[in-house]
Amino acid sequence: MITIDSNIVIGNRHPGSFEIHFVIISFEVSSFFVRNMDLETITRNYNRELDHWIDTCKTYTEQQLLLNPRRDSWSLGQLGMHLIVNTWYFFKLVRICASTEQHSAKEMSSNASRMFLRNEFPNLLMEGPPLNKETPQPSNRDEVVKGLRSLKAEMNTISSPLANNRAKGETRHPGLHYFDAMAWFQFSEMHFRHHLKQKKRIESFLGIDRERA
């Protein structure tokens, strides 16, 4: 739901009646936008981002893949493992929401609503949850490449049925409240795309000068 200034009054209307009326309208617009995003465009972008990761990962040396720019930051390999593990979890939530009506009356937070309207995460260096610090290094480059290929196959498997899915189930995000299946799918792509910026920063540290295709 989009945040509204509760002090607004139009004409002689009672402030409370206006506030309720406007909030309902704003939620319907936000919900319509999220549920009717261009699924084909999201899927196409997702495929491009995954292909970019897979293609570039195959060019890294083992040293480049495992080297941490700083003690408190991920290597390229850890970043890849983070994306693989977390995106699989997001896809699990997509499947759950697409097969239930549970929590269908719940809402996402106002911050989430604004983020979905922009279709991107805030342009900030965000600190992840404590478990992110325990993200393991991959055993080798092939582990990351195979994981990303499996992720791509699953993404394309779950995206097609979403276009005609009528289930309205939702599950809770720890900080942004409730998402339905389409919102989780869009969120997972936004998350993946956001970390491409981090990938580029690590490559710059390693002296890898590569323009994204």
Residue 32: inside a domain, yes or no? yes
pLDDT tens, 106-127? Answer: 888 888 888 888 888 887 655 4
Burial call 55-68: b when 16+ CB within 10 Å, e when fewer: ebbeebeeebbbee
Calculate mean pLDDT across residues 32-42: 66
Predicted confidence band at 176 (pLDDT cuts at 50, 70, 90)? confident
| 6, two tokens | 């509760």
List the domain range (segments joined by +) for residue 57.
38-205
CATH of the domain at 60: 1.20.120.450
Is pLDDT of 86 > 90?
A: yes
Contact 172, 178 (CB under 8 A): yes
Residues above pLDDT 90, as percent of the chain: 50
**Per the structure, how many domains does the chain have?**
2
The C-alpha torsion from 178 through 180 and 185 to 188, rounded to 10°, is: 10
Residues 71, 151 share a domain: yes
φ and ψ of 115, to 5 deg: -65, -40
- Return the sign of the alpha-carbon dihedral for residues 191, 52, 137, 203: negative
Write out the two tokens for 97.
Answer: 């929401």
Lowest mean pLDDT among 38-47, 85-94, 98-107, 171-180: 98-107
Which residues in 167-203 are b (16+ Cβ under 10 Å) and which e? ebbbbebeebbbbbbbbbbbbbbbebbebeebbeebb
Is residue 212 in a domain? no
- Both 65 and 96 in one domain: the answer is yes
Is the pLDDT confidence value at 16 over 90? no
Residue 190 lies in a domain: yes
pLDDT of res. 2:
31
Give me 90's structure tokens: 């997001």
Confidence (pLDDT) at 101: 79
- pLDDT score recorded for residue 13: 36
User: Is there a contact between 32 and 156 (Cβ–Cβ < 8 Å)?
Assistant: no
Query: Residue 143's CB: how many other CB atoms inside 10 A?
Result: 16
Please write the tens of the pLDDT for every residue from 122-146.
876 554 444 456 788 999 999 999 9
User: Is the confidence at residue 156, as pLDDT, over 90?
Assistant: yes
| Same-domain status, 19 and 46 | no
168 and 78 co-located in one domain: yes
pLDDT in tens, 90-106: 999 999 999 887 887 78
Q: What is the DSSP letter of 108?
A: B
User: CB neighbours (10 Å) of residue 116?
Assistant: 22
Residue 186 near residue 37, CB atoms below 8 Å = yes
Are both 56 and 128 inside the same structural domain? yes
